[in-house]
């Protein structure tokens, strides 16, 4: 009887040990976090989920990424600061978030830098774009790929149909000095504000307007509080999928090939995001128009006034950035 009990106990221990070995071998080695300040159904968030699925599949489950939408991990600036010491692993951020530490990222915010979407992707998917991704490493993050964020336009609580109409209005901008100066050059008053606070500020009249793309204007409900959308197309601000340097070191320590896998997955996710963006952009524009928003298009003369007013912004960059600007314009 005693011998049988010993054998049974030994067998149970063996089963448990085998089970533990299986979990260690096949379970996720790293569980990581990816932040986005947009809703779950937004193109960038969906692309982040797609990226996470690709990485998990191609690392045989050793790298698992959980996506946190709706600014659950904080606003973009806070998320970026946490990434710099490895507190958050991945994030989708706008170039404005990097501008304070990366001059090349600040340059990408220049109004009317890109003539159209085709011009922007010709630049970013080429040698210049690769060099720009490398430049963000000085901020202790690594650029993996470029996401689309469309063209940005002004929207307001009251009608605005010209540059003159903007004068004296308070306009929300990202936490970016260059974007703030753009608003000042137009004669308006910039208000740097966290994205999540914009709706209530518009609703209460704390600000007169803001600037963003069609999907953001629609997804946030800003069109309800600021129903006048001015198609000035002042900026095409690409966004980046980033990884913390600390996290990249952890991942490549598991397997040296995982760095290349991350980049490939990120670039496939970027292509997916751009497809989603085109669909969402058209749907968002249709929805806000259907809800009675007034969309104003500028003629060539009026648009030229907007362009000319912001030319001083191109003058404050060091020579190497000026050279890069000329390369982009010539592309």
pLDDT of residue 23: 37
- Distance, CA of 214 to chain centre: 15
Span of 26-30, 200-204, 211-215, 327-331 with lowest mean pLDDT: 26-30
121: in domain: yes
The b-or-e profile of 277-307 (16+ CB within 10 A means b, else e) is beebbeebbebbeeeebeebebeeebbeebe
Q: Are residues 204 and 268 in the same domain?
A: no
Asked whether residue 92 carries a pLDDT value surpassing 50, the answer given is yes
Q: Are residues 140 and 158 in the same domain?
A: no
Q: Quick one: which of 36, 94, 37, 38 has its CA closest to 67?
A: 36
Q: Looking at the DSSP assignment, which residues form a beta bridge with residue 68?
A: 35
pLDDT of residue 2: 40
Distance separating alpha carbons of residues 4 and 18, to the nearest angstrom? 21
198: in domain: yes
Q: Are residues 56 and 127 in the same domain?
A: yes
Asked whether residue 324 carries a pLDDT value surpassing 60, the answer given is yes
Q: Are residues 200 and 107 in the same domain?
A: no
Range of the domain at 226: 151-236+283-330
- Distance, CA of 92 to chain centre: 4
Distance separating alpha carbons of residues 50 and 145, to the nearest angstrom? 14
pLDDT of residue 316: 82
The number of folded domains in the chain is 2
5: in domain: no
pLDDT of residue 14: 36
1: in domain: no
The helix/strand/coil state of 177 is: helix
Q: Are residues 112 and 155 in the same domain?
A: no
pLDDT of residue 19: 36
Asked whether residue 289 carries a pLDDT value surpassing 50, the answer given is yes
In tens, the pLDDT along 121-144 reads 999 999 999 999 999 999 999 999
What is the percentage of the chain residues whose pLDDT exceeds 90?
A: 84
Distance separating alpha carbons of residues 64 and 31, to the nearest angstrom? 5
6: in domain: no
Q: Are residues 299 and 250 in the same domain?
A: no
Q: Contact, 267 vs 145, CB < 8 A?
A: yes
Q: Are residues 205 and 103 in the same domain?
A: no
pLDDT of residue 26: 54
What is the percentage of the chain residues whose pLDDT exceeds 70?
A: 92
Q: Looking at the DSSP assignment, which residues form a beta bridge with residue 145?
A: 241
pLDDT of residue 5: 37
Asked whether residue 90 carries a pLDDT value surpassing 60, the answer given is yes
Asked whether residue 16 carries a pLDDT value surpassing 50, the answer given is no
Average pLDDT over every residue of 172-183: 92
- Label residue 92 left, alpha or beta by phi (over 0 means left) and psi (-120 to 50 means alpha): beta
Place of tokens 């009887």: 1
Q: In what order do the strands lie in the sheet with 141-147?
A: 63-68, 30-35, 90-94, 239-244, 141-147
Q: Contact, 28 vs 62, CB < 8 A?
A: yes
pLDDT of residue 176: 85
Asked whether residue 290 carries a pLDDT value surpassing 90, the answer given is yes
Average pLDDT over every residue of 158-183: 95
Distance separating alpha carbons of residues 180 and 326, to the nearest angstrom? 23
pLDDT of residue 99: 86
Written as six digits, the tokens of 244 are 């913390």
247: in domain: yes
What is the residue-averaged pLDDT of the chain? Answer: 91
Give the domain CATH number at 247.
Answer: 3.40.190.170
Residue 87 Cα distances to 30, 90, 120, 164, angstroms? 14, 10, 32, 45
Q: Are residues 158 and 230 in the same domain?
A: yes
Average pLDDT over every residue of 142-147: 97
* pTM of structure: 0.83
202: in domain: yes
């Amino acid at each position: 009887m005693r011998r049988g009990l010993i054998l049974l106990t030994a067998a149970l221990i063996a089963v448990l040990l085998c089970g533990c070995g299986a979990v260690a071998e096949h379970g996720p080695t790293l569980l990581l976090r990816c932040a986005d300040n947009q809703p779950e159904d937004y193109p960038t968030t969906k692309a982040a989920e797609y990226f996470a699925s690709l990485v998990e599949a191609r690392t045989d489950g050793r790298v698992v990424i959980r996506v946190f939408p709706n600014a659950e991990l904080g606003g973009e600036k806070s998320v970026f600061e946490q990434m710099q010491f490895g507190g958050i692993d991945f994030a989708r951020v706008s170039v404005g978030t990097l501008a304070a530490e990366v001059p090349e990222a600040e340059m990408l915010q220049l109004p009317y830098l890109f003539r159209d979407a085709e011009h922007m992707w010709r630049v970013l998917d080429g040698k210049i774009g690769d060099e720009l991704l490398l430049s963000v490493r000085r901020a202790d993050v690594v650029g993996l790929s470029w996401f689309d964020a469309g063209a940005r336009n002004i929207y307001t609580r009251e009608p605005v149909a010209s540059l003159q109409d903007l004068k004296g209005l308070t306009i929300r901008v990202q936490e970016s000095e260059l974007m703030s100066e753009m608003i000042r050059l137009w004669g308006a008053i910039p208000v740097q504000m966290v994205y999540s606070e914009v709706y209530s500020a518009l609703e209460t009249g704390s600000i007169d307007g803001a600037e963003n793309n069609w999907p953001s204007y629609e997804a946030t409900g800003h069109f309800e509080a600021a129903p006048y959308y001015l198609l000035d197309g002042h900026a095409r601000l690409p966004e980046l999928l980033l990884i913390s340097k600390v996290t990249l070191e952890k991942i490549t320590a598991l397997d040296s090939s995982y760095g290349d896998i991350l980049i490939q997955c990120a670039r496939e996710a970027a292509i997916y995001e751009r497809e989603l963006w085109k669909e969402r952009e058209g749907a968002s524009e249709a929805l806000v128009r259907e809800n009675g928003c007034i969309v104003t298009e500028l003629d060539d003369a009026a648009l030229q006034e907007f362009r000319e007013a912001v030319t001083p912004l191109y003058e404050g960059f060091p020579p190497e950035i000026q050279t890069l600007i000329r390369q982009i314009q010539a592309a």
